[in-house]
Structure formats: C-alpha cells, structure tokens
Structure 1
Amino acid sequence: MNELRYVYAVSRPFQAALPKDLLGVAGAPVYALGHGDLVAVVSAVSPDDFDEAPLKAHLENLDWLSDTARAHESVVAALASVTSPLPLRLATVCRDDDGVRRLLESGHARFLRTLERLDGRVEWGVKVYAEAPAQSPDSAGPAPATGRDYLRRRLRERRTSERSWESADVVSRRLHEELARHAEAVRLHRPQQAQLSQAAGHNVLNAAYLVPREESAAFVETVNRLKPEEPGLSAELTGPWVPYSFAGDEDEQ
C-alpha cells in the first residue's frame, strides 16, 4: 500500500531551505510541496498508522499521541525560523501529493486570509493557578462534640473556600481583561487538569494572546507587572509560540 502524506503546515513560498536533518513523524524526512502561491510542508507516513482505522485507535493512545505531537511541533517550529507558517491540526493526512495539492486548492482563500492575519504575530500563553484554601484552625482541632457542631464547622469551611475561589476568579479576570487590551486577539482555553499541567494549585485562567512579534517585549513586561501578588495565587507565562490557538479561520473560532 502506498505511503500517505502527513501535512504539518501551510505557508507562502519561501526561499530559505529547511534544515537538512529535519525529521517529522516516525522519523520521516520532511519536504516542501509548492502549489501556486502556497506551500505545504509534508512527510510520508505509513497507512498502517495513519489510515482511518489505525489512526482512530492511535488517538486513544496517549504515548503515541504525545510522540506525534512533539514531532509535529518540532517541524512547525523549524518552519517558523524561515517563514510565518499556518500550522494545521494534528494528524492532517492526505492520500498522496495530489491530495495535498487538492487540500491547498480547496482551502486556498481561507489559508491566504489566515496567513495574512498571522503574519508577523506570535502566541503568548498565560495561566493563573490558585492554591486550595488553607485549613481553618478549628479544622485541626478536636472532633465536634455534636452533629450540629460538625455542620457548623463544615459550613464555615465551605464559606472560606468559596471566598477564596471567588477572589481568585476576580483577580484572574482582571488580569485577562488588561492583557487583552495589549493583544490583537484572545483565546480562552479550558482550565488545564492538574495531572496534565503538573503545577501546584487549580488552574483558574488558561488564555492565549496573539501579539505582533515586535511588541512581545512590551507584552511580557505587562504580564510581569500585573502578576497577582495575592497569597495563594501564581501566574505562568509561556511563549512565544507559533500561533496554534489562532490558526483556524476566525469565523470557525
């Protein structure tokens, strides 16, 4: 069975050569496939892994998914050093080179529109974490004497917890609103689960900001200036990244 084509990103034609040792998914060499005024960066992949049925099974395997995502991102990052790419979704696969050309034709207007919007822009990520409220002094004290005393203690603990989370929500909203003023576009992602982030605390803000590359230093300075100083709150800045969060058509998002 013929090999399939894995498509990493789309860009305008570029003169610089991709690194000779650049390898993609499953260690396959990467190459640029031009068609009209667009270029797709692709590699050959086995149908044993990327045909519809095996791919569906692989996407349930977190180890395989993680390895594929890392390879995908490394190719896009290398491409970003020579042009402004539009990264495609993980596991975008075509039957052959002609299938890649058809992909470029069918999405031509959308690709050009998005490339224009992302040209010279980068993505910065900001996450805010809130630690669980500290245990109240009476929680560590002797056991309640009666059921009524127990219920009163639980009520005080719940109110303390609610006030703490409300405060974290207010602080993160204020930070986000201010950062949004310094960005061309914003995407709010779902809070990240603790087992994935491996960070201390509960993720109360997970946002991406599209910023012109030349304004990145000012954006970073703004983040550092506005980082929450309240006890139990912390902020994390990541980037600059290729703007994955903004790669879809604006109408789709």
Structure 2
Amino acid sequence: MTEDIPAPAEAGAEAVYVYAVCRAEEPPDLTGLAGLSGEGPLRALAVGPALTAVVQTVRAAEFTDEAWQARLADEPELERYARAHHEVVCAMAARLPTVPLPLATLYHDEQRARAALGRESQRFHAALERTANHSEWGVKVYVTDAPVRQAAEDTPQRPAVGAGRAYLDRKRSLRDRRERHRTDALRIADAVDAGVSGLATASRRLPPHGGRVPDERRRQVLNATYLVAEERAAELARLAQDLRERTGAQVELSGPWVPYSFVGEV
C-alpha cells in the first residue's frame, strides 16, 4: 500500500504518513501522541465504514529513496523513527481495535491515502475481527550446546597399538552423541511449539537465530510468535513454566505485543 515518494522531492512537498487503521465509529482520541518528532499533529482520516486511519503530514524529502537508504545506515536515527511509529501504534491499540501498518507507509496526499486504504477495507475488517482482544507473544527456546570435542581425548598423546581404532571409535561416539543431542533439541522445540499452539489462536514459527548465543553455551532451537486471547495470558505464563520444568530447556516468553505478525494473514 505504500506509494513511492519521488526522488528528489520538490522543495516543500508534503506526504501523508499512515501509522495504523482502527475500528472507530467516531474520530479517535489522539491526545498526547506526537508521532514523528518535528512533524505536524496526528489526525484521523476516515477510510471506510467504521474504519479510521491515524495519519500525519510529513516532509516528502524525508522519505525519498536516498533519504531512507541513508537512514537505514544510521542506526540511532532509524531507531528513532521506528520507536515513534511503534509508540503511536501501541497507544492506539490500547484504545481501539487496531491494525498496525508497516514503518514508512506513505501516500502523496489524503485523497490517495483514503482511496488506497479504502480498497483494503475488507482486509482490515477481517484482521480486526481476528485480532480483537488478542495480543502477540514471542517464545524462544534454548538448549545447551552439543558436547564439544576435547583435544586431549580425541588425539592420542603417543602412538600405541590400536590407537587408530580407538580414535575412530571416539569420533564415532562423539558424532552419535551430537546427533542424539540435535534430535532431542528438535523434539523439545516441537513439544514447546505444540503446547503453546494448543493454547493460541494462531501461530507463526520463524527460523531460529543461527549459531550460539554470544558468550554462552546455549543454542536457540525455537523462535516463534503466537496470537493469544488476552484472557489467557496468565494461562500462557503457567504453561511456559510447566514447559521449562518438563523439558529442562530455557523457555523465554515475551509480550504482550500489538499483533503485528498476524494482521496480514487474513
């Protein structure tokens, strides 16, 4: 839905930045929300039956391809934009059923924004229906690393009769232990995912972050996100503790979040 802002933008040209679309019969209360620092005030834009977008007029030059590429290389500046966007989305989600839009969703003017968002009204209503009274929760599972080969065990200090066979046997044993460890880790990941999925309304299993956790002897085996009814939050916390005790793995639960991961799956 994002329109490209031409580059270079004309001096003084403006664009309409969209944060979220809410279910609201009347213009929502935007008190206390600043949005992107230094820009105009936030305002409501009706985009369909019972649908209102939260928008802000911004300088088009701030969002040309060149400007955005430069921002991507400037981590503090990118974080500032992302935080401002997220704060508006979270504030609206606390007040009204809300569909968050991606960072830097822009249109040339209100007319184009209203038309483009209006064409998506059916999708917005479906997403709002699906995520109403739900939050997103993240679950990450870590297990200890597989056995590490010890040089003193794997390499004979001096040649001896049968040393070659013993070395190969140790190598084979280590390989078998590592394979069992990998299988056990996958089984734990599947067990945690199945347990939380049984409680959740929807789930998304993401690729685990590769490699070991820096300075720690643990490896991530599950990286998933779940859409959970707000009334089941306490049940989820108890389940996470039970899964820690049953599996012996480190099960990290984070949230509740605005359900970014589930508004597009309708």
**1:151-230 to 2 correspondences below 5 Å:** 153-193=170-210, 201-227=218-244, 230=247
| 1:55 aligns to 2:68 (yes or no) | yes
2:140 corresponds to: 127
TM-score, normalized by length of structure 2? 0.80
2:44 corresponds to: 32
- 1: CA distance between counterparts of 2:58 and 2:96? 24
Instruction: Verify the 8 A CA contact 1:125 1:207 in the aligned structure 2.
Output: yes
1:144 corresponds to: 156
Instruction: Verify the 8 A CA contact 1:171 1:228 in the aligned structure 2.
Output: no
Identity of aligned residues (%): 35
**Which of 7, 17, 42 in structure 1 is aligned with 2:55?**
42
TM-score, normalized by length of structure 1? 0.83
Change (3 A) 1:211 1:201: same
Name whichever of 152-161 and 95-104 sits farther off.
152-161
- 2: CA distance between counterparts of 1:63 and 1:79? 24
Change (3 A) 1:142 1:125: closer
The number of aligned residues is: 247
Instruction: Verify the 8 A CA contact 1:228 1:235 in the aligned structure 2.
Output: no
Q: SS in structure 1 opposite 2:191?
A: helix
Return the offset for 1:173: 0.4
Return the offset for 1:15: 5.9
Return the offset for 1:216: 1.7
- 2: CA distance between counterparts of 1:23 and 1:196? 37
Return the offset for 1:17: 1.6
Q: SS in structure 2 opposite 1:99?
A: helix
Return the offset for 1:10: 0.6
RMSD: 2.9
Matched letter for residue 113 of structure 2: V
CA deviations 1:8-50 (Å, max 9, x no partner) are 1111115652232x22234534322223321111222322231
The structure with the larger Rg is 2
Return the offset for 1:200: 6.4
Q: Which runs of 5+ in 1 are unaligned?
A: none
1:242 corresponds to: 258
Give 4+ residue runs of structure 1 displaced > 6 Å after superposition: 194-200
Q: SS in structure 1 opposite 2:102?
A: coil
Instruction: Verify the 8 A CA contact 2:154 2:167 in the aligned structure 1.
Output: no
Instruction: Verify the 8 A CA contact 1:40 1:100 in the aligned structure 2.
Output: no
Q: Which runs of 5+ in 2 are unaligned?
A: 1-11
- 2: CA distance between counterparts of 1:194 and 1:66? 25
Q: SS in structure 2 opposite 1:89?
A: strand
1:108 corresponds to: 121
